[in-house]
Structures are given as structure tokens and as C-alpha cells.
Chain A
Amino acid sequence: MTAHSGETPTETPGARTAVDFAAGHETAGADVPAGPLAQSLRQYFRAWGLQIRSGNSGILPVVLAVVLVAVVFEIITPEHAFLRPSNLVYIFGLSTVYMVLAMAETVVLLLAEIDLSVGAVALIGGVIAFKLVQQPGPGWPWWAAILATLACCGVIGALQGTLVARLKIPSFVVTLGGFLLFSGILVVILGGANGSLSVSSTAPNQRVIYDLVQGLIPPVAGWVALAVVVGIAGAALWLRASARRRQGLVTPPASLIAIRIALVALVGVAVVLVCAVNRGTALVAVAGVPWVIPIVFVVLGAWTLLLQRTRFGRYVYAIGGNPEAARRAGVSLVAIRTWSFALCSATAGLGGILLGSFFYGQYSTNTSDPGQLVLYSVGASVIGGVSLFGGRGKAIHGVLGGLLIGGIAYGVSLLNLGPLASPLEYIVPGGVLLAAVLVDVLSRRGTGSVTRV
């Protein structure tokens, strides 16, 4: 299974070129990342094209898929309602849950493991947070409740990770057990099969949790925040590139950085613009960016920094690429694996709090099916471009995959298909998941790095 498929010694990068005689020049070129060496925009795009053709297509397929889904649903939904601002904002809210869970799943997939308990752990996290702010009840302040939830879920993940990393029980079984276990405990915390928990939108403390997804940043504040964020991010990117250039390090061309900053700004403007449209009535205006959008960006930023810029992240990729090589290079497999599971579960816990807020602060045993949440989160990661075989993927892939899944799920529900609506809720994600994995498998076959018999 995936758990030990990566441990064959034939998967070392050196052997990859040796094994795959039939591969074209592109494949050999992709082994040395051509992007960083490019000196001009044209060279960079050429290198990028080569990389895509060699099978390492990054976020391109999922971006195309998002565009395709948007166009198709806009055409086929009654009254072309899919791209209305009110629907788009609803999709953002729905998708954020999948995005956060997919980011959680991504770190575990990078290790070539799997966490089937993210759905159940997310619901447990949400229920714990809701329980802690109950009044009468524990009545904790909201920040303490959220922190306690993240810690609790982190411990759950660390326990599962210990079983995987230390006892070498396949992650798939450990987390399958965890899934059952926490689905049961979830019902216990909720107080039986008919139990429920809710946070009020009026009590000041509980309102913060209610507002995580439901609350809105006023349009003006949204524009200001966007300007500040894009300004800071752009300045940071630009300063870092010029610092590197001063030091004589390899840097992408300045025009490329400008394009990137412009693209990010464009996406930000589009999001704020869509959210600034009044979605309510003329009397009761509903407009503004939901709080959850900046929250997801913060999570995305944190995960991206952790995976791309820290030693921990490099070790995760190293283990996912070839655990034996990583071990011989001195990476502590046990520690990295355990921490990854802990971080995965903590992120899932945050997703659970968002989920409760998305459902208007209500949590019951019917709020969400933990099994389906897992499927969606694994599906979102893989659709986004995270490889199931470990070592390939980024946090942004989870976000884009989550957006795609959310868009499809909501688009299908808009179609007024009558009796077909309910089955399509299952069939469409299943088909998309299979298609994504097929692409993953075939693209890796192109690079010659799949040596599974």
C-alpha cells in the first residue's frame, strides 16, 4: 500500500534517471529545477512548460478545473445563477472547511501516509470548542476555547502519529480506528444521538465563534485590509528578491515577481469586489468579506512557510520522497511523522470550528458525516495536485482543491435536479477524485518515478 510503496530503494533520484531509459529529454531536464536558473521571463516560461510536460504540472490543472467548473455551472444552472455574488460568497464559506481539512490532509499525504480521521477529529474539535464556550457551562473565553481545541486535537494527532511512526502500524488502519473512535466520542460529547450544541450570535463571547464564517468585514475595511496585505506581501517578496540578487544568489527575473504580485493583487481585488456587492435586500444590506477568508489565508500562509521555508518542511518532503534516504541522512522519521500527524489533527480541529460556524453555530450529530468529510478532504488535496505517493504537493493545492470541491458540491445542488440531486452529491466527487488520482498516477508514470509493480 501507499505506506511502504515509497520504501523501495529504486526510487532514489539518481536511480530514477538510470531506470527510465525511455524518458525524453524533458524528464531528465526536470530533475534539475529549471525555474530558479532562468534569467529572463521567456526562459522562465520555457522552463515551466518543460516542467509541465514532464508531468510536474503544479497548480495549473486545478486552476483550469476551477475555471472550467465555474464556466460550466454558470452555463447550466437555471438563470445562470452560479456566479452571482451571493452564491460565490456562500461557496467561499462552504469551501473554507474543505480547504482547511485538505491542508491538514496534505502534510500527511506528503509523507506518503493517510489520515482517515480528519473528518471525525474536525467534528470533535468543533464540538469541544462549542462545549467550552457554553454559558451556563464552562464559559471559557473564545480564544481559550479555540486554543484548547487546537491543543486537544494536536494531542489526538500525536497519539495516532505515535502509533504510526513508532509501532509502524499502517496509518490507514490507525486512522480508520481513530475515525470510528472519535465518531463515537463525538456523539458522547454531544450528549447522545439527539444531542446538539449551539453558539449564540448575540452573546458577546460566543458571537466570536459564530462570526468566524458568518461574520463580515465591512467593504471599506476589506479594501483597506487588502491594500495593506498586498502591499506588505509585495514589498516582502520584492525586498527578498533584491536582497538575494545583491548577494549574488539565483533569483527569478524581476518581471516574474512583478507578475506574481499583480496576479495575487488581482485575485484579492476580485474576491473583495465580489464580497462587497450587497447580497441582502435594499433594506437590510449584507455586504463584505467573511472573516473566514482572511483566516484561511493565514492558515495557508502558515502552512506554506512551514513546509517551504523551514527545516521541518524540508524533512517532510525528504521522507515523502524516500524515507530510507531521509533516515540515512539523519532525519528522525519518528519525530517528523508524529509531528505531522499532530499538526494535521490540530488544523482539522480548526476546520471543525469553522464547520460549526458555517452551519450558523449549530452542532448536532447530523451536522456533517465524518466519513464524507474525509473523502472530500483527501479528494480536495489530490484534485489540487498533492500526490498520494508522497513528496509532492503544497498547502495551496489543498486550498484550490477545496474550492473546486465546494464549487462542484454547491453547483450540483443549484441544478434543481429533483430526485437526481442527492445521488449526484456522491457521484460527482467520486468521479472527480478518481480522475484526479488517474492524472496523478499517469503523470508520475511519465516521470518514471513510479516503480510499483
Chain B
Amino acid sequence: MSDVIDPTAAPAATAADVPPELLAQSLRQYFRAWWLRVRSGDSGVLPVVLAIVIVAISFQVANSKFLSAQNLVNLFEQSTVYMLLAMAEIFALLLGEIDLSVGLVMAFGAVVVAQLVQPNGLHWPWWAAIAVTLLACAAVGAIQGWAVARLRMPSFIVTLGGLLILEGVCIVLLGGSLVSIGNSRFTNERVLYDIFNGWFDPVVGWILLVVVVGAAVTGVLLSEARKRRNGLETPPRSLTALKIVLTTVAGIGLVAICNVNRAHSGTIEGVPYIIPIVLVVLAAWTVLLQRTRFGRYVYAIGGNPEAARRAGVKLVSVRIWAFVLASLTSGIAGVLFVSWQVSITTNIIKAANSYVLLAVAAAVIGGTSLFGGRGRTMHGVLGGLVIGGIYNGLYLLGVQSQWIDVVVAAVLLAAAAVDVLSRRGAPRQA
């Protein structure tokens, strides 16, 4: 189809239609195939990695504290909420839809979980509170997804109306002026508080790293060995080795940075709990989107809904589930959010609304297309890191918050322009 529409496309661009990486036999071939793909417009994570490097270098030059271990951990922590919301948004964006309610679903989750553990209220155990919160958020997603998928109302409007209604619901649930989880005398509140503010002992951090990297490496090696035995296409061994080494180095770097003492006085050292939490969500959604039938259907609908429908994909149920997963992920962000903010007020609920812009920005900056069918969960994490880095860096420089908004807006527009222009280069965009 693309050949018919775009006869002027370069041979390199046509090659990108068949993922050449799969066919590559050596590391050199792989890199050539990858480069062709980047040039054809499907640049993947390359731009966002470059953006992270640029952000890091420029803020480091402007303020030498930026890359200090203390600030980096801070930056990771602040970025996690953006990362989770961006991962949530990606489910909608992949379908070619949008979810404007992620920020308010996050606030909704935060209020619900905080109310459920109140010692002079419902006084639920923390795990039950979190489970019910996630279910409630998923239900919100199911209702919105139903309106989008079944009634075919524009997702944009459904989630716009949804966020307004949720804003009201949040204020109702809030009851008084604020709800707090900051009382450390109660175990449930302390556990919630520690999700964002707690950390592993340095030694535990190293052990975890070894276990995780070891398990991941074994898994990858075993699956490749099986593929090779069955005569399937496998990436070259050198590439696998390179990927393992890079992941290990990144992991070691992360743990090493987190294990530096970052307290002004006393000792605070170790990996914050939220970093593995985000990584678990990332891994789960990556597997879901890249390795399951549901994931393939999401990409199919995002690429061409009519074609997917004719191929027998149930548009309605896949769309509803995608919205459920988006709201569920926002609910996870909500649990982190209440742990981060400690107390939730009406003003914080209103402010939560602006997070949706950052979520969309993070997803698009990360490389997820606004037109559906292109993007990965990883993009949300990287994009969230860019947004978090910009916020953190400008804050360190003493820039006022209004200018930070201006910079984020410029970055969002730039990312959208890159998305549009890169799709123009790719043969897929007719």
C-alpha cells in the first residue's frame, strides 16, 4: 500500500517496512539496519535519549549541583509520577485516542486511598486500600472507555467531561479541607508514606540489582537459545551481549548513585522504593504491549482501525481495556502522588489537572505518536525523565514556575513537530 501511495520514497525507507533488525546476522548489519530505520523516520528512542543528554549537559553547565547524586535521586523521584502518567497516556495514544483525565484519575486515586486508611474513618489495611483504589480507578476507565468505544463519542470530549466530573467527585470525597497520611503512629499511613519516601538499605539494593539483572539475563539467553534451536530468526549474539552489558552498567550506575549519602546531616542512602515500582510497571506493560495478543491488537487498531476490524479484532473490547489500563496506571500514580504530597487539599486536586499536559508531553517527547500505532511504554519513562529533568533543573536555577510552564510547552510543541515531520518522512504516512 505504501509503495502505491508514495512512489518517490527512497529504497531505504521501503526497507523499514520489513524490520531489518530481525534479519540482521551480525552487529554491523544490525546497526546499519537500525540507522536506515532512523533515517526513514522511525527513530524510536534516539531523539529522547539525545534530549536527556542535552538536558543533563546544559543544566550541569548552568549549575554544578544538577548531576550530584543528591539531586539525581531527587530528580528520579520527582519524575516517577510523570513517568507513570505518561505510561498511562500511551495506552490511549497508541489507539489514536487521547485520555485527558489521567491527572484527575490520579487525584481521585490519591483521595480514595488516603480516605480508606484514615484511622478515625474506615481504617482499612494499606494493601486493601490500595487494591480498592486501583479497582475504583479501573472502573472509571471502563466507563470512559465504554463511552468512547461503544457510543463512539470522541475520547477527547469523554475524558474532558470525565475530568470535570471527577474533579467534583474528588472534592466530595475529600469532605473537609484536607486529608493526610502523614501520621507515622499508624502503620497503614506509614506504609503509604514510605512508598515515595522510603528506600532500601544499600546492601539490599545491590542484592536486588544482582537478582533482577541475573533473572533478566537468564530469561533473554534462554529464550534466544530456544529460538535458535527452533531455527527462528535471532539477533546476533554480540548484540545480545551488548544489550546485557549496557543494562547492567545502567543498573550499577543507578544503584551506585542512590547509595551515596544524600542527607544534609545524618545518613540517607539507598534505592528509593519507587524506582523498582516504576520498573515493575514498565516491565509489565512492555510485556503486555509487545508480547501478547492484546498488545498486537492495540497496535493494529492504532495503525488502521478499519483494517483491524476487518481482520476480526473486536474494536470495542480492546478500546475499553486500553482505557481501563490507562486509568489503572493513573491510579498507581495516585498512590505515589498521595505518598509524595502527604496531604491532599482541594488546591492539589485542581493542580493535578495540569499533570495531564505533562503526561501527553512526556509520551510524545518519548517518541509515542499522537496519531496512534507507534510508541512503547519505555517512551513514557524516558519522556517523563526529560520532563522531570527540565522541572528539576529550572527549579535549581531559581526559575519561576510560570517560565517552567513556558519551557515545557515549547518542548511539547517541538516534540509534536518532530513526530509530524518524522511521519512525513516515513512512507507509512500517506
Contact = CB atoms under 8 A, between A and B. Distances in A.
B161 A174 contact: no
Interface stretch (A125-133, A141-149, A186-194, A311-319): A186-194
Interface string A167-184: 111101110111111011
B390 to A, nearest CB: 12
Contacts of B346: 422
Contacts, number: 152
Interface in A326-361: none
Contacts of A425: 168
B154 A2 contact: yes
Interface stretch (B26-34, B226-234, B416-424): B416-424
Contact of B354 (A178, A187, A371, A437): A371
B144 to A, nearest CB: 10
A434 B157 CA distance: 7
Contacts of B152: 441, 445, 450, 452
B165 A180 contact: no
Given A173-B416, A183-B405, A423 B161 contact: no
A24 interface: no
Interface string A140-174: 00000000000000000000000100011110111
Nearest to B423: A168
A4 B404 CA distance: 32
Contacts of A441: 151-154
Interface residues of A, number: 53
A170 B170 CA distance: 31
B167 interface: yes
Interface of B is mostly: helix
A180 B305 CA distance: 31
Given A1-B154, A167-B420, A167-B421, A453 B164 contact: no
Given A1-B96, A434-B161, A453-B306, A177 B412 contact: yes
A429 B169 CA distance: 13
Nearest to A114: B156
B170 to A, nearest CB: 8
B154 A430 contact: no
Contacts of B157: 378, 382, 388, 433-434, 437
Interface string B151-188: 11111111011111101111110010000000000000
Interface string B397-430: 0001111111011101100110111001000000
A36 interface: no
A216 interface: no
Q: What band does the interface of chain B fall in when counting residues whose beta carbon is under 8 Å from A?
A: 35 or more
A389 B429 CA distance: 22
Contacts of A20: none
B364 interface: yes
Contacts of B370: 1, 170, 173
A33 B321 CA distance: 42
A444 to B, nearest CB: 10
B344 interface: no
**Which among B155, B346, B406 has the greatest number of chain A C-beta atoms within 10 A?**
B406
Contacts of A174: 413, 416
A452 B421 CA distance: 25
**The 8 nearest A-B residue pairs measured at CB:** A430-B164, A427-B168, A423-B168, A180-B409, A184-B405, A187-B402, A426-B168, A181-B409
Given A176-B412, A423-B169, 15 more contacts: A167-B417, A173-B360, A173-B412, A179-B409, A185-B402, A375-B160, A388-B157, A420-B172, A422-B171, A430-B161, A430-B162, A433-B164, A437-B154, A441-B153, A442-B151
14 contacts: A1-B96, A2-B156, A163-B413, A183-B402, A184-B405, A185-B402, A371-B354, A388-B154, A424-B168, A426-B167, A427-B164, A434-B158, A434-B161, A438-B153
Interface of A: 1-2, 4, 114, 163, 167-170, 172-174, 176-181, 183-188, 192-193, 369, 371, 375, 378, 382, 388, 419-420, 422-427, 429-431, 433-434, 437-438, 441-442, 445, 450, 452-453
Interface of B: 96-98, 147, 151-158, 160-165, 167-172, 175, 305-306, 309, 315, 346, 350, 353-354, 357, 360, 364, 370-371, 400-406, 408-410, 412-413, 416-417, 419-421, 424
